[in-house]
Chain A
Amino acid sequence: MAEQTVSIYRSMKDLPSTHLLGTGTPMCSGCGGLEALNQLYDIIGNKSVFVNAAGCMTLLSVYPFTPFRGSWLYTAMASAPAGAQGVRDALDILIQKQRMSADEDMQVVVLTGDGAAYGMGLSATSGAMERNLDFLYICYDNEGYGNTGQQFSAATPHGAKTATSKGPRGYPGFKKDLFAIWAAHNPAYVATVEGAEPVDLARKIEKAMTMKGPRLLIALSPCPPGWDYDPKETVNVGKLAVKTGVWPLKEYIDGRVVHTKIPRERKPVEEYLKLQGRYKHLFEPQRNEKLINEIQDKVDRYWDSIDL
């Protein structure tokens, strides 16, 4: 099924105009993760169980409130995919043994941040893919341990200032390529999304919902407190991540990686970096040309290596 059936989401006007996810959550204003989740949840729907790992979004469901119209299970930081395994298997067993009608079935959705997805929970995710678990995985990637005050994680990009990389060169490591690691397991579907690209996001979750097996999405999630920018800029930051080529929108399907929104004329990464306080040390007190070029080169090399 290399050729995708026609999406019902061709433009912004096809997107749902009301949201399923409740309001008044304790997420920060301008949360890019919530921006993405809001849109994803509209299409996933309330026939779902969200299995959550420790992170910012654990605070979505605080007794006795929840913004979810469906079900929720908090597990621990490392084992949300294993929780999804237990729920999925139980629902299958109940249907198979005719103790539950198939109408009562639900989509099982893992919801974690990058701390769990890129690090502590990677083994559990790998195991779930190995076992061909029928589940959705949503990673809201705000490129650091955001809930504890934005220490660097395996998802932090090179040069970014975090609470544990405050030096003049920022984070010395490089963002782990989780998309490639996930895709190497040959699951049904892997995609990157961005909340500020709603049509691309809608098409991907729509596609994922038609499939069985492991389907995993990484949503780059601009984070006003963690990335140090004004909350009103979230959409802008997200759009620039795509337009500069920093965050390639792509999907892995049938053994192939397809780029779904190619920035033909990429904006300089500087435009993306300049908006965020976490890169301020690249421009002030003096411009760190070398580090800016390093970041630009890495993005250029990526796109040069892609057979578009």
Chain B
Amino acid sequence: MTRKLLTGNGAAAWGARLAATDYIPAFPITPQTEIIETISVWIDQGEMDARMITMESEHSMITAAASAAASGIRVFSATSSQGLLYGMEMIYTVSGWRAPFVLVNVSRGLASPITLEPDHNDIMSARDSGFLQIHCATCQEVLDSTLMAFRLAEDARIRLPVIVNLDGFYLSFTREPVELPEYEDAQKFVGAYDPENIRFRASSPVSQAVAVLGGAPYSYFRYETHLAAQNGLVVYDELQKEFANQFGREYPAIEAYQCDDADIVFVMLGSFATKAQAAVDQLRNAGKKVGLLRPRLLRPFPAEMFQNLLADKAGVAVIDQNISMGMGGVLHSELAAALYGHPHAPPRLLSFIGGLGGRDISLEEFFEIADVTQQAVNTKQTPPPRLMYTEQELREMRKLQAVASVERNELNNSGGAKNG
């Protein structure tokens, strides 16, 4: 085992390498590109026995990845944001092929307006696709989750593609010390890929991904996919324990921090949850019993685990780094669905939207979230979802608007004459 300073992207690339991936269809997009650049250098230098192919779009990239997986080899790919959406037809399509492969998504906010910085609307759009999802908060977790993702995808009880998600910039470009498993140890954990009957061979012709006529066969195959995805809960738990035994690092489906005796619990996904974790320490110092839950597994959704971890808590604040227009935070809705009617469900479940397009969530804001949640507990009134934005930010925004307006007037007054 060696220790190395790696970015989140570097860790994802190492995951693909240590899993002995055969094939990497690629297409560049910020902030993911470093992953495919890293792999490309390894292949060129003979350090990784794999083939990489640059496709002409993410739509083609996902198609090639799944087609290769359907032919019986181990496949890895990576994308981000607009790229994930460009490939979305195939994201939904190929999960039904039941051909396992691993896709890393480096989360980045969606247009419009176009941005490079992170939030989770990209990955949420793949929520109902049939891909399983593992969300990471550290570079070590990115590497380890990539290894686990291959096991999860290839398990005979599942056979579905898996997305490993990490946040753009905050994780993709942040260097952290990462323990690199030895190749042999990683191989021991991941194992060789057995495609079983999902493959193409001349001597055993098969038709894959064929059409069906009518709702009954269609429903059958869709239900099968759903049930396979649900098997992910048991399988993930088995293999994360196996991983912990072998490598000494634990990754339960939900990471609980200071939760046991907490009255109020934050729920957050991804690397921004590390900000919440720091805030929990400060809140604890200030005498407030606050904890944090960070789901790693979003699909399948660990509903029962949430029910148990949140049983009899006074209040829960879900901080969503995404926004479903006209509804609010996606994780909040999911959690509400999981908790509603449960005998020990926390009486107050609050929704906060923050961190869109990389917008910071400050310590003061976490204090405010804890306060608002405490008030809701005290008054037994749940406030409407809160879109987090500070007065200072609004002031800065007004300045930008003023500049835009001045520039437009300038153009209107002189631009026409200048351009003749």
Does residue A126 face the partner (Cβ distance < 8 Å to B)? yes
A47 to B200, CA, bound (A): 10
Q: Can you report 16 residue pairs joining A to B where beta carbons are below 8 Å apart?
A: A61-B210, A62-B213, A63-B210, A72-B206, A74-B210, A78-B59, A86-B25, A86-B65, A86-B66, A86-B69, A87-B71, A89-B68, A90-B68, A91-B200, A92-B51, A93-B68
Question: Do A76 and B90 touch (CB < 8 A)?
Answer: yes
Q: Scoring A residues 82 to 120 as 1 if CB is less than 8 Å from chain B, else 0, what string do you get? A: 111111011111100100100111100000000000000
Does residue B374 face the partner (Cβ distance < 8 Å to A)? no
Contacts A86-B67, A97-B22 supplied; 19 other A-B pairs, CB < 8 Å: A61-B210, A62-B210, A62-B211, A70-B202, A71-B200, A71-B207, A73-B207, A73-B209, A76-B59, A76-B63, A76-B93, A78-B60, A79-B90, A82-B63, A85-B55, A97-B49, A103-B202, A123-B57, A131-B53
Question: Do A124 and B212 touch (CB < 8 A)?
Answer: no
- Find B23's partner among A61, A93, A105 (CB 8 Å cutoff): A93
Contacts of A106 in B (CB 8 A): 200, 202
Contacts of B67 in A (CB 8 A): 51, 73, 75, 82-87, 90
Contacts of A41 in B (CB 8 A): none
Q: Which residues of A contact B (CB under 8 A)?
A: 46-47, 49, 51, 58-59, 61-63, 66, 68-76, 78-79, 81-87, 89-94, 97, 100, 103-106, 123-124, 126-127, 130-131
Question: Do A104 and B211 touch (CB < 8 A)?
Answer: no
Contacts of A130 in B (CB 8 A): 56
Contacts of B206 in A (CB 8 A): 71-72
A84 to B41, CA, bound (A): 26
Known contacts: A72-B210, A86-B66. The answer to whether A123 contacts B56 by CB under 8 A is yes
Chain B residue at smallest Cβ distance from A133: B53
Question: Do A127 and B68 touch (CB < 8 A)?
Answer: no
Question: Do A90 and B53 touch (CB < 8 A)?
Answer: no
A130 to B203, CA, bound (A): 31
Q: Number of residues in B with C-beta < 8 Å to the partner? A: 40
Residue of B70, B206, B210 ringed by the most chain A CB atoms within 10 A: B210
- Distance (whole angstroms) from the CB of A149 to the closest CB of chain B: 18
Question: Do A105 and B210 touch (CB < 8 A)?
Answer: no
Contacts of B71 in A (CB 8 A): 86-87, 90-91, 94
- Distance (whole angstroms) from the CB of B285 to the closest CB of chain A: 54
Contacts of B202 in A (CB 8 A): 47, 70, 103-106
Question: Do B64 and A85 touch (CB < 8 A)?
Answer: yes
Contacts of B205 in A (CB 8 A): 46, 68-71
- Distance (whole angstroms) from the CB of B176 to the closest CB of chain A: 33
Chain A residue at smallest Cβ distance from B209: A74
Contacts of A82 in B (CB 8 A): 55, 59-61, 63-64, 67
Question: Do A126 and B23 touch (CB < 8 A)?
Answer: no
A71 to B70, CA, bound (A): 12
Question: Do B55 and A87 touch (CB < 8 A)?
Answer: no
Contacts of B55 in A (CB 8 A): 82, 85, 127
Does residue B418 face the partner (Cβ distance < 8 Å to A)? no
Q: Tell me the residues in window 76-90 of chain B with beta carbons closer than 8 Å to chain A beta carbons.
A: 89-90
A307 to B114, CA, bound (A): 52
A106 to B23, CA, bound (A): 19
Question: Do A89 and B72 touch (CB < 8 A)?
Answer: no
Question: Do B63 and A75 touch (CB < 8 A)?
Answer: yes
Does residue B201 face the partner (Cβ distance < 8 Å to A)? yes
Contacts of A72 in B (CB 8 A): 206-208, 210
Residue of A59, A71, A123 ringed by the most chain B CB atoms within 10 A: A71
Question: Do B73 and A93 touch (CB < 8 A)?
Answer: yes
- Distance (whole angstroms) from the CB of A267 to the closest CB of chain B: 40
Known contacts: A51-B67, A63-B211, A90-B67. The answer to whether A127 contacts B201 by CB under 8 A is no
Does residue B415 face the partner (Cβ distance < 8 Å to A)? no
List the 8 closest A-B pairs by CB distance, nearest first.
Answer: A86-B67, A127-B56, A82-B60, A90-B71, A86-B64, A86-B68, A79-B63, A82-B63
Contacts of B49 in A (CB 8 A): 97
- Distance (whole angstroms) from the CB of B97 to the closest CB of chain A: 8
Contacts of B68 in A (CB 8 A): 86-87, 89-90, 93
Contacts of A105 in B (CB 8 A): 202
Does residue B217 face the partner (Cβ distance < 8 Å to A)? yes
Question: Do A83 and B210 touch (CB < 8 A)?
Answer: no
Q: Tell me the residues in window 1-55 of chain B with beta carbons closer than 8 Å to chain A beta carbons.
A: 22-23, 25, 49, 51, 53, 55
Question: Do B23 and A63 touch (CB < 8 A)?
Answer: no
Chain B residue at smallest Cβ distance from A124: B60
Question: Do A59 and B211 touch (CB < 8 A)?
Answer: yes
- Distance (whole angstroms) from the CB of A189 to the closest CB of chain B: 21
Contacts of B203 in A (CB 8 A): 103-104
Contacts of A92 in B (CB 8 A): 51
Q: Scoring B residues 163 to 186 as 1 if CB is less than 8 Å from chain A, else 0, what string do you get? A: 000000000000000000000000
Question: Do B207 and A66 touch (CB < 8 A)?
Answer: yes
Question: Do B93 and A75 touch (CB < 8 A)?
Answer: yes
Contacts of A58 in B (CB 8 A): 211
Contacts of B212 in A (CB 8 A): 62-63
